[in-house]
């Protein structure tokens, strides 16, 4: 956790663009630790997401117009557990990929340590809250019932 | 050389499109959560996605998705075959732009079709 020395070096590298390896928009592969894992995660989840997202867009904007994607359409689709699993994987990978991108963006742009900690904490709180919202909905949705709101006793 | 050239724009567009898609993803999780509040709440809320202005916004989202997807492929190719990045850097960036537009155009037709037809589901 001794950061001051490495942080200084990191900043020097970041502020001087010309010292970056010429990867043209890509980030250089980190040497190890979480950043290396993150580097691979971006690429692997990215490749999977290309297929999941383009199929998802085609189904809900081309073969079915968005005006038809109503409650009963979801109910019919979710009769098949395949689409629940599909949506769960899509939701989870997209959130992790997107919020990991936001994490990098914050590290690149927020220089004060305190604000960076605050921003990163916000990102991962959002990740948890939104992942729980989506996941509960996808798993518990039953047509004609109040679904997740049953858990909180909000509706009868 | 980096600043002001295609390498910078591909990077900048990747960040902006990624951030835009992430914001929509959070909104989309919220609207899907409305399923748990029953048929009426969900269907009433979702009518906003059929308006002409949200359809136009959807076109921006789809453009961002295709750019981010194809530019991601370009980044992965350059990562594993660095010679592509040094030799065909500019050509690959233009290939990403062409592929994005080519994929986006058919989607714009399907998304906007209801607004061009009489009685189409395109409210204001």
Question: What are chain A's domains?
Answer: 32-140 (1.20.1300.10)
Predicted confidence at residue B94, as pLDDT, reads: 93
Q: How far is CA B50 from CA A72, B87, B124, in A?
A: 17, 45, 8
Predicted confidence at residue A13, as pLDDT, reads: 45
- CA A8-A13-A16 angle, to 5 degrees, is 120
Tell me the per-residue pLDDT of A62-97, one tens digit each, with 9 for 90 and over: 999 998 899 999 999 999 999 999 999 999 999 999
Q: Check if the beta carbon of residue A101 is closer than 8 Å to that of residue B73.
A: no
Interface of A with B in 42-81 (CB under 8 A): 43, 46-47, 49-50, 53-54, 57, 61-62, 65-72, 74
* Cβ–Cβ contact A22 with B under 8 A: yes
Q: Check if the beta carbon of residue B104 is closer than 8 Å to that of residue B86.
A: no
Predicted confidence at residue A124, as pLDDT, reads: 92
Predicted ipTM of the assembly: 0.90
DSSP classification of residue A55: H
Predicted confidence at residue B3, as pLDDT, reads: 55
Q: How far is CA A17 from CA A13, B9, B24, in A?
A: 7, 14, 31
Measured between CA atoms, the residue of chain A closest to residue B72 is: A46
Identify all chain A residues contacting B104, using CB atoms and an 8 Å cutoff.
Answer: none
Q: Check if the beta carbon of residue A108 is closer than 8 Å to that of residue B14.
A: no
Best of A21, A26, A131 to substitute, by most chain B Cβ atoms within 10 angstroms, is: A26
- CA B40-A92-B35 angle, to 5 degrees, is 5
Predicted confidence at residue A151, as pLDDT, reads: 54
| CATH domain B6-116 topology | 3 helical TM bundles of succinate and fumarate reductases (1.20.1300)
Predicted confidence at residue B8, as pLDDT, reads: 81
Whole-structure pTM value = 0.84
Structure tokens at B70: 């194809």
Identify all chain A residues contacting B72, using CB atoms and an 8 Å cutoff.
Answer: 43, 46-47, 50
Closest C-alpha among B68, B67, B28, B29 to residue B49:
B28
Sequential pLDDT tens for chain B (124 residues): 355 666 788 889 999 999 999 999 999 999 999 998 888 889 999 999 999 999 999 999 999 999 999 999 999 998 888 888 778 888 999 999 999 999 999 999 999 999 888 878 887 7
**For each successive 10 residues of chain A (156 residues), what is the average pLDDT?**
44 42 56 87 96 96 91 93 97 96 91 93 93 94 67 52
CB-nearest partner of B21 from A62, A98, A148: A98
Best of B7, B25, B47, B107 to substitute, by most chain A Cβ atoms within 10 angstroms, is: B25
Structure tokens at B28: 């989309």
Separation CA A58–CA A64 (nearest Å): 8
Separation CA A59–CA A63 (nearest Å): 5
């Amino acid at each position: 956790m001794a950061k001051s020395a490495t942080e200084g070096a990191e900043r020097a590298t970041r502020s001087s663009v010309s010292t970056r390896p010429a990867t043209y928009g890509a980030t250089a592969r980190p040497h190890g630790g979480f950043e290396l894992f993150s580097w691979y995660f971006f690429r692997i989840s990215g490749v999977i997401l290309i297929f999941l997202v383009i199929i998802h867009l085609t189904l809900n904007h081309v073969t079915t117009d968005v005006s038809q994607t109503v409650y009963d359409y979801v109910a019919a689709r979710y009769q098949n557990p395949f689409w629940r699993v599909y949506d769960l994987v899509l939701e989870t990978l997209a959130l992790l990929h997107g919020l990991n991108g936001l994490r990098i963006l914050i590290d690149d742009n927020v220089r004060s340590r305190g604000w960076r900690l605050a921003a990163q904490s916000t990102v991962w709180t959002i990740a948890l809250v939104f992942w729980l919202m989506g996941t509960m909905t996808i798993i518990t949705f039953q047509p004609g019932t109040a679904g997740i709101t049953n858990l909180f006793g909000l509706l009868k | 050389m980096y600043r002001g050239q295609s390498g910078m724009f591909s990077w900048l567009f990747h960040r902006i499109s990624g951030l835009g898609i992430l914001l929509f993803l959070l909104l989309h999780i919220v609207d899907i959560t409305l399923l748990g509040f029953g048929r009426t709440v969900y269907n009433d809320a979702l009518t906003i996605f059929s308006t002409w202005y949200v359809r136009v916004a959807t076109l921006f989202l789809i453009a961002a998705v295709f750019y981010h997807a194809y530019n991601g492929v370009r980044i992965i190719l350059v990562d594993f075959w660095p010679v592509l990045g040094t030799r065909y850097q500019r050509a690959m960036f233009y290939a990403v732009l062409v592929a994005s537009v080519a994929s986006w155009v058919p989607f714009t037709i399907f998304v906007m079709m209801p607004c061009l037809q009489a009685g189409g589901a395109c409210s204001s």
